[in-house]
């Protein structure tokens, strides 16, 4: 099973991904974690990404697409067990690049929560890290969270539409649940038709990310088992 976990900063994508990794043996690919490792190593990629990440802005699409494609192509566990993408795709171009590369999700989990709730969670994460002597993320502060939320809201629908626009049923939309694997006449390019003609189907589920971690995990597992 290949899954995308999608949602605003602080909604709990990382926490839920770890739980899903344990429960389903999925290969967890967090683009934020990959970038933070590259920045810590001061690699060429890290140096290119650092300013964007520190300001809460998106790193360039080409850079992140290259990193994800390379990881999924080289990681045997991802190929064998299926992957869980956390933090990717974040733009329509990234979603489109996935489709064109034949990287097909079976399920997109959209974790939703209020801006006020997720902002407070991010600031709490920074306070908790600081109190327990752990490294505080350079982008976990009030100003950067505003930028990250702005980036999220300005791209959310475009990302979901990228997967939605080849769906068969005329009433499918980013909040609906089931995107059947048949292209809508005239709506798809050849590559997208190839994507949708694979013997799988894409489901999109929206899960409320506001309740406790355990309750959100239960809702996610219910969505995945449908």
Instruction: For residue 33, give the 3-state DSSP assignment.
Output: helix
Under the binding rule (CB under 6 A), the answer on residue 64 touching ligand AMP is yes
Pick from 7, 8, 12, 87: which binds ligand AMP (CB under 6 A)?
87
Residues facing residue 205 across a β-bridge? 109
Pick from 52, 106, 165, 194: which binds ligand AMP (CB under 6 A)?
52
Under the binding rule (CB under 6 A), the answer on residue 32 touching ligand AMP is yes
Is 150 among the catalytic positions? no
The Cβ of residue 82 has, within 10 Å, a number of other Cβ atoms equal to 16
Pick from 45, 50, 78, 88: which binds ligand AMP (CB under 6 A)?
88
Interatomic CA distance for residues 25 and 38, integer angstroms: 25
Is 80 among the catalytic positions? no
Under the binding rule (CB under 6 A), the answer on residue 59 touching ligand AMP is yes
- The residue from 36, 148, 192, 203 that is catalytic is 148
- The residue from 19, 71, 137, 182 that is catalytic is 137
Interatomic CA distance for residues 32 and 139, integer angstroms: 11
Instruction: Give me the helix-helix angle, 61-74 and 44-55, nearest 10°.
Output: 120
Put the strands of the sheet holding 202-208 in their side by side order.
27-30, 83-86, 3-6, 107-112, 202-208, 178-179
Is 121 among the catalytic positions? no
Contact in structure between 106 and 5 (CB atoms under 8 Å) = no
Is 55 among the catalytic positions? no
Nearer to ligand AMP, 155 or 172 (CB): 155
Contact in structure between 35 and 86 (CB atoms under 8 Å) = no
Nearer to ligand AMP, 87 or 174 (CB): 87
Q: Which residue is nearest to ligand AMP (CB)?
A: 32
Under the binding rule (CB under 6 A), the answer on residue 31 touching ligand AMP is yes
Under the binding rule (CB under 6 A), the answer on residue 105 touching ligand AMP is no
Q: Which of residues 112-151 bind ligand AMP (CB under 6 A)?
A: 139, 148
Long-range contacts of 214-220 (CB under 8 A, 24+ apart): 216/12, 216/16, 216/111, 217/16, 217/19, 220/16, 220/20, 220/109
Is 90 among the catalytic positions? yes
Q: Which positions are annotated as active-site residues?
A: 13, 90, 125, 137, 148
Give contact residues for ligand AMP (rule: CB under 6 A): 9, 31-32, 35, 52-53, 56-59, 64, 87-88, 90, 94, 139, 148
């Amino acid at each position: 099973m290949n899954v995308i976990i999608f949602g605003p900063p602080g909604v709990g994508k990382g926490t839920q991904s770890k739980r899903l990794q344990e429960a389903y043996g999925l290969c967890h690919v967090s683009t934020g974690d990959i970038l933070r490792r590259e920045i810590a190593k001061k690699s060429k990629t890290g140096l290119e990404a650092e300013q964007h990440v520190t300001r809460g802005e998106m790193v360039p699409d080409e850079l992140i697409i290259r990193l994800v494609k390379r990881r999924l192509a080289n990681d045997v566990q991802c190929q064998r067990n299926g992957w869980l993408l956390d933090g990717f795709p974040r733009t329509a171009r990234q979603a489109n690049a996935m489709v064109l590369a034949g990287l097909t999700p079976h399920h997109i989990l959209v974790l939703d929560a209020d801006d006020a709730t997720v902002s407070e969670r991010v600031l709490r994460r920074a306070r908790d890290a600081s109190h327990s002597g752990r490294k505080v993320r350079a982008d976990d502060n009030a100003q950067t969270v505003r930028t990250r939320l702005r980036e999220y809201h300005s791209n959310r629908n475009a990302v979901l539409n990228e997967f939605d626009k080849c769906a068969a049923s005329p009433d499918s939309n980013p909040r609906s649940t089931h995107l059947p694997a048949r292209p809508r006449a005239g709506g798809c390019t050849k590559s997208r038709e190839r994507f949708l003609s694979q013997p799988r189907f894409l489901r999109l589920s929206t899960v409320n990310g506001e309740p406790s971690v355990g309750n959100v995990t239960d809702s996610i597992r219910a969505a995945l088992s449908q």
